[in-house]
Structure 1
């Protein structure tokens, strides 16, 4: 369980926090005794004992100062621990999200909501609620000992109200859980729509549909507000119920205390202590009830964070040595979308073309070859010239897919976009830029690789050429270009394909532009979930 793992890792810091809270509990438990002594001595007027007054005043003031000091320390300590736990949880979420195959990738809004809202809820429970539970229990015990020693009858009256808090929890817990789940899902939808609007801002601006998109977003915001308000109403009723119990308890204890004072059973100082600190006895119970209700929100957050732990692919040792792939075999391969039941063996030549109409399944095959998706039924195997059979999962990093959906990171330097953090020599970077004929473009414009992509202002075709250069820097055995050259001039595209053989043993081309297939050694046509060989010359001449 996530909570247990976090508590186990940060147990020393949590223990220090609990120790500080314990000191506060002890102080708050003893304070009523000294306050009682102070009031009783003051009621004696000139006969009051000076030493007792000084001791009581000193303790009350010292306790207040210590409360302030510990509060300052705990604020810094808990703040630092909260940041550390949040960073660790978000790091794990990011790792799992970025390592998820296509069929498991959640919506962007869901990811943002889990990384922000759900993570913060779990952190709040670990750093706040857990300590509050401990403090509430310790406070209840400490105050119980003090007040029971003062007057058992008054103490018993207060304790009789405790079961009412359980009724409040029973009445509101299930509703709180359902409302928390609804709010969380509404926020995930809103985040997803906001992310989509940011992604398509250019389209929105050029089509002048700002009012329409704003209306859609406002509808989602309205849904979130309605869900939040329902939760507020539920919380207000729960709070009113808890306050009502506390008010009723205070009224009964005050009336009974007044009667006992008139009968001489308790002193005025005792009554004042009971009036001020009887709330301290039920406050832990009320706090525990509130924590139990807020646990419903934590349950929702934990379930969503746990779901991300199942996204990441299992760790598989990938083949690192150079491989000469000769063919790929599909054996009754079926996929989650499309009418596929594919059984076919494709020869992979130095330049291989895959053609077909839109929606025929070309991109699905390419994603499968790159290991981004796996068949729901059947299997896919690569075959080497040495007779070995290798799963696409073991070829990750050796088979790179470039498609029209890929983008450069606009806010990052060009060099970082090319290397993606890998240590690559400048000579090799320049060589790949020459293959895609971008080195001369950069020199002509005076664009240094340290500049950001946004500052450089590349066109679509130039961006695609840089993306291909980035793929070449990974030294793949197979490079798959799925409409990856659609923005490049046909003549330039022909030259780039010819040069790719210098760095890549096998290139697979998917394109609707016929001239892109002119240099292919072998071509396959995908139609209705089936694959069949086709003459390159015949296809190009169509």
Structure 2
């Protein structure tokens, strides 16, 4: 099963109609050209039927009829060329809008959803599904429109030529109807399963590549190889299922649309012998039916592609279902209120029935420096993520300025609260580009000041702001990447900062110096620090101690030491560890 939702068939059809309605002129122009091209293609069979009917006495008309046929063929080719061009232009416009909307939705996904979905699922929807949909929009939809218009107008021409000869064409209806219904009832599920299996395969390969050093260090090559083989086998079975559907459906359909040709010749011949239809009508209708084979064949072929494209479209639209609820407060309303963060009865579970946090109650005053400490596994980082709005709590409420944090628009939430962890990402681009993420219009003077605050200007100046960094370019050391993330924090200047081991990759002395520098820069801001280095707690206005997902103590450093409780034990244990001689 996919970790992200998949749109229903009704939603896919609704969105497709919406996209088409956004370009009414282009759509009408394209359809008009297709109709004119089809009408031009109906001229030749009529004239050829006339020639056959009058073959023994209309020799003088052959040249003129041939010229008309040639003109009709040229007109059809010209109109078809411009019709396809118009359809492709329309398809590109629709595809461009789809891509823009999809990227916009992906970039606003909650972090909890991104982490739960995994990289393979998102990468597959962003790459493979978009590519499949592009092929469908650019090729399948226009060609299907041409084929459908040709079939409809050709059947109309048959009715006008000899209504009784439409009956042989109906021979194919039961065959095509039943086989198509059988196929469509199974195709959507089959293609969705194939896409999900491909996403799982992509995710597994990505994990193996990203964790290559760990795989090598622990000798996990065989187990990872087995995982990849398992994913390949599942993807193979899923693809084999869709291949089976096509191998059953297409031969039956091919037989179905060949039957009308034989039926028209047989029944038409009998009707001609009985004097019910003319030879010209039989000839013309036979040519029309023969002419239908190509469009019907294309319809059947593209029907399969449309199912593939529809499955990809459903997966792309499924991202839209993962939307964050927007609040009704105006931007800035929370900041003007001057109220802090209030945590009331919060509990949280990553898996149903296994609470990581239980009945947490906490109030963080504006401008307060709060330290959250506790043993590993106490729930400190989880609480930090909830306080930053990365994830909503499973129960209880977290409010900022009286408003539920989870219901604030993402743009407003990030101005109010920002989380900095020990996990940082350096984007491929210049060092300047990586800093401008936080403040796009910042000048180089502001970038330099931010780098100086986090003690990074020395190496940044040597490197140069225009140096390419990131994957495939100049690699930054873990400590440098952490300083870069903290420089972004300085530039972003949020009202509340949650620091979750944000200086853990620096040596203790450098980390201590950096924390003091940040304290000066963040003066007046609310700072929530989650740390194992308890000097952070010593400098804080208040310390909160967590154990087993609950707040067990809260107070100033000196007060908690005097109480001799969990914080005092942590403090003495930490100091004892610092005093222990190195091996």
Range into which the TM-score falls when normalised by the shorter chain: 0.7 to 0.9
Q: Tell me if the contact between 2:29 and 2:86 (Cα under 8 Å) persists in the aligned partners.
A: no
Superposed, 1:29-428 pairs within 5 Å as 29-39=42-52, 43-44=55-56, 48-50=58-60, 52-105=61-114, 106-119=117-130, 135-136=146-147, 138-204=149-215, 209=220, 212-259=223-270, 271-281=282-292, 296-297=307-308, 300-316=311-327, 317-319=330-332, 327-337=340-350, 338-346=356-364, 350-382=368-400, 389-392=402-405, 393=408, 395-409=413-427, 411-420=428-437, 422-428=440-446
Q: Tell me if the contact between 2:417 and 2:498 (Cα under 8 Å) persists in the aligned partners.
A: yes
Q: 2:468 aligns with which of 433, 452, 455?
A: 452
What's the CA shift string for 1:266-324, capped at 9, x where partnerless?
Answer: 67665554443213457666766666666655554444333322323234444389679
Q: 1:197: how far off? A: 3.6
What's the CA shift string for 1:310-358, capped at 9, x where partnerless?
Answer: 3232344443896797753211112243242212334576533211222
What's the CA shift string for 1:356-412, capped at 9, x where partnerless?
Answer: 222221112111221222223221234xxxxx5454336431221101233111x21
In 2 relative to 1, CA 151–68 (structure 1 residues): closer, same or farther, beyond 3 Å? closer
More off after superposition, 289-298 vs 58-67: 289-298
Q: Matches of 2:53 and 2:184 in 1, distance apart?
A: 44
In 2 relative to 1, CA 360–75 (structure 1 residues): closer, same or farther, beyond 3 Å? farther
In 2 relative to 1, CA 320–428 (structure 1 residues): closer, same or farther, beyond 3 Å? farther
Q: Tell me if the contact between 2:420 and 2:497 (Cα under 8 Å) persists in the aligned partners.
A: yes
Q: Matches of 2:334 and 2:272 in 1, distance apart?
A: 91
Q: Give the structure 2 partner of residue 385 of structure 1.
A: none
Matched, 1:467 2:485: yes
Q: Give the structure 2 partner of residue 510 of structure 1.
A: 530
Q: Tell me if the contact between 1:162 and 1:285 (Cα under 8 Å) persists in the aligned partners.
A: no
Q: Give the structure 2 partner of residue 8 of structure 1.
A: 21
- Where 2:498 maps in the other structure, the secondary structure is strand
Q: Tell me if the contact between 1:6 and 1:85 (Cα under 8 Å) persists in the aligned partners.
A: yes
Superposed, 1:478-517 pairs within 5 Å as 478-504=496-522, 505-517=525-537
What's the CA shift string for 1:191-217, capped at 9, x where partnerless?
Answer: 322443443345446666556534433
What's the CA shift string for 1:459-510, capped at 9, x where partnerless?
Answer: 1111101110011100122222111211101111111111113321233222
Q: 1:521 aligns with which of 541, 556, 563?
A: 541
Q: Tell me if the contact between 2:147 and 2:295 (Cα under 8 Å) persists in the aligned partners.
A: yes
Q: Matches of 1:293 and 1:82 in 2, distance apart?
A: 19
Q: Matches of 1:73 and 1:194 in 2, distance apart?
A: 44
Q: Matches of 2:217 and 2:399 in 1, distance apart?
A: 46
More off after superposition, 221-230 vs 432-441: 221-230
TM-score norm. by structure 2 comes to 0.80
Q: Matches of 2:338 and 2:212 in 1, distance apart?
A: 43
TM-score norm. by structure 1 comes to 0.86
In 2 relative to 1, CA 412–236 (structure 1 residues): closer, same or farther, beyond 3 Å? same
What's the CA shift string for 1:187-241, capped at 9, x where partnerless?
Answer: 2222322443443345446666556534433432332232122212211211111
What's the CA shift string for 1:129-172, capped at 9, x where partnerless?
Answer: 66566545543443234334544443322234323322222322
Q: Matches of 1:529 and 1:56 in 2, distance apart?
A: 90
Q: Matches of 2:293 and 2:77 in 1, distance apart?
A: 23
Q: Matches of 2:75 and 2:245 in 1, distance apart?
A: 37
Q: Tell me if the contact between 2:541 and 2:556 (Cα under 8 Å) persists in the aligned partners.
A: no
Q: Tell me if the contact between 1:3 and 1:126 (Cα under 8 Å) persists in the aligned partners.
A: no
Q: Tell me if the contact between 1:319 and 1:395 (Cα under 8 Å) persists in the aligned partners.
A: no
In 2 relative to 1, CA 29–333 (structure 1 residues): closer, same or farther, beyond 3 Å? same
Q: Tell me if the contact between 2:422 and 2:505 (Cα under 8 Å) persists in the aligned partners.
A: no
Q: Tell me if the contact between 1:165 and 1:285 (Cα under 8 Å) persists in the aligned partners.
A: no
What's the CA shift string for 1:430-478, capped at 9, x where partnerless?
Answer: 11111111101223xx311111223432211111011100111001222
- Where 2:543 maps in the other structure, the secondary structure is strand
What's the CA shift string for 1:87-134, capped at 9, x where partnerless?
Answer: 322222222222122343333332233334444555666666665665
In 2 relative to 1, CA 464–502 (structure 1 residues): closer, same or farther, beyond 3 Å? same
> Matched residue pairs, number?
530
Q: Which runs of 5+ in 2 are unaligned?
A: 1-13, 351-355, 562-567, 574-583
Q: Matches of 2:215 and 2:94 in 1, distance apart?
A: 38
